[in-house]
Amino acid sequence: MNAEKESIFDKKIFQTKIKSAEVKPNEMLLGYFLAPFMALISNAIFASYLNRYYSDVIGWTDKSKFGVFSALLPIVSVLFVILGNLLVGRFMDTIHTSQGKARPIMLLSAPLVTVAVGLLFLTPTNSSPMVQMIWMAFSYNMYYAVSYPFYYTSHSSMVNLSTRDQKKRGLLATLSNASGVASLGIGSSILVPILLQSYLFVDHNGVIDQKASYNHWRVIMMVLCVFTFVGILLEYYNTRERITEENMRLNIKEEKLPMKQQIAVCVKEKYWWIIILYFLLFQFGGLVKNGSMSYYCRWMFDGITTEATAGTAMGTLGLIGGIPTAIGMVVAWPIAAKLGKQKSIVLGLLISVIGGSVSFFNVHSFLIVCIGVILKGIGSIPAMYVTLALLSDVLDHLEAKNGFRSDGFTMSVYGAIMVGMTGLGNGIINALLTASGYDATASVQNDSVGNMLVLCYLGIELICYAILVVLMSFLKVEKEVAKDQQIIRQRQKEQVLAEGREWVEPEEQMRREEEQKYQQKKKKKNILSFLE
């Protein structure tokens, strides 16, 4: 290790619980699935319900009170979200600790995200519209532009920084994506609609009781704060940045590269543009669909007249639609290993486009829409689970070509997309709701609202998928993986040998250290037993 000044992260209380040189099942299941699931579930609920909380409980689509605020806030906030993620990415590049460069940011995010979640649901409803708008603007950006980027940028970087083993990396990518899918499926498509819909949106004769709903949301908010805080801590303590540790173990000093140097090499790489555009379109389509799902289930299906029945319909739709994605967690990586990551994604999205079109045969039939959602879900399995592994391949390719990693800038852009698209999607939904004459207090919506919901829930995602089928056909980075790994290792070896030191493979050195610590622990235990 480099003889650098000891930091707070060198203290035992902040050290990872993962000591193994290789990725093992406990790290996979706890650090990459269970803990992120807990940390992400609040954001998953927000993706489907925060906008509806604002419109139906706070009333921000009421033109007489808030004007165009509901459309402008999420869209304008995208600029702050992008800036926030870029700053976090830059901050990550300046950190060099024994616990890595991403995980320290993750630890810092725990209190930040917890406080921000609370602020979202404390809007002073008895104050003037101006005070309410200021509070919503502040709390919204405190969460999406400041706090959440700290967590999500570091969380998303862990697959890239955990290992160079392609098989293990693929499994980690699958589990990491599965945690997000599970949080979205269970939290926003099953837990809330089936168990909490009528509690969070209290209706009397089809009309929302805003005061009662507001108080109930505050109760759920406290539960989410605890769940999120514990989840982030669990993820921090049950992950490890082995790639970050490589240069530390080899005594290779990492230069603090200016962000513009990372930007320069990224924007010149076609593979980087393809994978970034992939995340942009995939996330945008999914968030518009998720953000409009609650509205669609309440107003579009035949026979739905109350919040309780709408919640049951949404929960059932989420449960049925989630079956393919649940199965996908098991089959995604074997499919990708057989066909290749890129090819499995392209073929899968093509199936999604064809299968999802079935829903348009009757947009008011719960059965027909379910069939379309299931077919679309089957096709999207590879896209949901293996793309983080592809992103890791792109980052390794950039490292091989340029001699330095571009995680900071790339993951800040990735985080800005994954977080910022929420605001853009909600802003578009709000603008369309307002323009089409949506009325939260009405018992029936007009035809314009219905057409808008069909476009948002069924149409936009399929359009994005169709574009991605063409775009992803040009992503051939998998063919470069073996050569890239060889170049990176050779460059590290040459630098070590040039300094007159012995070359030992980083993985082997980690195994030696692991064995040494085991022997020391065993020796200490024997001494204590002898003294007793």
Asked whether residue 12 is domain-assigned, the answer is no
Higher-pLDDT residue of 290 and 218 is: 218
DSSP string of 131-194, one letter each residue: HHHHHHHHHHHIIIIIIHHHHHHHHHHHHHHH-S-HHHHHHHHHHHHHHHHHIIIIIIIIIIII
pLDDT interval class at 266 (50, 70, 90): very high
Give the tokens for residue 441: 């207090």
Residue 275 reports pLDDT greater than 80? yes
Asked whether residue 152 is domain-assigned, the answer is yes
Residue 322 reports pLDDT greater than 80? no
Q: H or E segment at 474?
A: none
Tally of structural domains, the chain: 2
395 plus 510 within the same structural domain: no
448 plus 516 within the same structural domain: no
Q: What is the pLDDT of residue 159?
A: 86
197 plus 281 within the same structural domain: yes
Query: Which of 14-23, 73-82, 227-236 has the highest average model confidence (pLDDT)?
Result: 227-236
Q: What is the pLDDT of residue 2?
A: 43
Closest C-alpha to 359, from 399, 321, 319, 316: 321
Residue 518 reports pLDDT greater than 80? no
329 plus 237 within the same structural domain: yes
Residue 217 reports pLDDT greater than 50? yes
Closest C-alpha to 433, from 453, 419, 415: 453
518 plus 371 within the same structural domain: no
pLDDT interval class at 69 (50, 70, 90): confident
- Model confidence over 80-116: pLDDT tens digits? 988 998 888 888 888 888 888 899 999 999 999 999 9
Give the tokens for residue 406: 């571009």
Taking the mean position of all CA atoms in its chain, how far away is CA 374?
22
Higher-pLDDT residue of 85 and 234 is: 234
Residue 329 reports pLDDT greater than 90? no
Over residues 207-213, mean pLDDT: 82
SS3 content of the chain, % helix, strand, coil (to 5): 80, 0, 20
Residue 476 reports pLDDT greater than 50? yes
Residue 232 reports pLDDT greater than 90? yes
Q: What is the pLDDT of residue 73?
A: 85
Q: What is the pLDDT of residue 250?
A: 67
Residue 233 reports pLDDT greater than 90? yes
Asked whether residue 251 is domain-assigned, the answer is no
Residue 404 reports pLDDT greater than 80? yes
Q: What is the mean pLDDT of the chain?
A: 85
489 plus 506 within the same structural domain: no
Q: What is the pLDDT of residue 44?
A: 86
Least confident of 99-103, 305-309, 343-347, 464-468: 305-309
Least confident of 159-163, 450-454, 500-504, 527-531: 527-531
Asked whether residue 32 is domain-assigned, the answer is yes
Asked whether residue 247 is domain-assigned, the answer is no
432-439 LR contacts (CB < 8 Å, sep 24+): 432/456, 433/55, 433/61, 433/70, 433/295, 434/61, 434/63, 434/68, 434/70, 434/71, 438/55, 438/61, 438/295
CA distance 247 to 1: 8
Residue 152 reports pLDDT greater than 60? yes
Sign of CA dihedral 402, 405, 409, 411: positive
Asked whether residue 2 is domain-assigned, the answer is no
Q: Name the DSSP letter for residue 250.
A: T
CA distance 210 to 214: 6
Radius of gyration (Cα) for the chain, nearest Å? Answer: 24
Query: Which of 152-156, 350-354, 506-510 has the highest average model confidence (pLDDT)?
Result: 350-354
510 plus 381 within the same structural domain: no
Higher-pLDDT residue of 347 and 129 is: 347
pLDDT interval class at 3 (50, 70, 90): very low
Residue 330 reports pLDDT greater than 60? yes
Asked whether residue 17 is domain-assigned, the answer is no
Taking the mean position of all CA atoms in its chain, how far away is CA 368?
30
What CATH code is carried by the domain that includes residue 346? Answer: 1.20.1250.20
pTM, two decimals, is 0.73
414 plus 383 within the same structural domain: yes
Cβ proximity of 137 and 351 under 8 Å: no
Domain span at residue 350? 23-242+259-493
Residue 142 reports pLDDT greater than 90? yes
CA distance 199 to 394: 45
Phi, psi angles (nearest 5°) of residue 204 = -120, 110
Residue 1 reports pLDDT greater than 60? no
Q: What is the pLDDT of residue 110?
A: 95
Residue 323 reports pLDDT greater than 80? no
Over residues 205-218, mean pLDDT: 83
Asked whether residue 132 is domain-assigned, the answer is yes
Sign of CA dihedral 367, 370, 372, 374: negative
519 plus 388 within the same structural domain: no
Q: H or E segment at 208?
A: strand 207-208
Over residues 294-307, mean pLDDT: 86
Cβ proximity of 418 and 285 under 8 Å: no
52 plus 155 within the same structural domain: yes
Over residues 223-240, mean pLDDT: 95
CA distance 523 to 511: 18
408 plus 514 within the same structural domain: no
395 plus 521 within the same structural domain: no
Over residues 498-516, mean pLDDT: 74
Residue with tokens 């498509």: 189
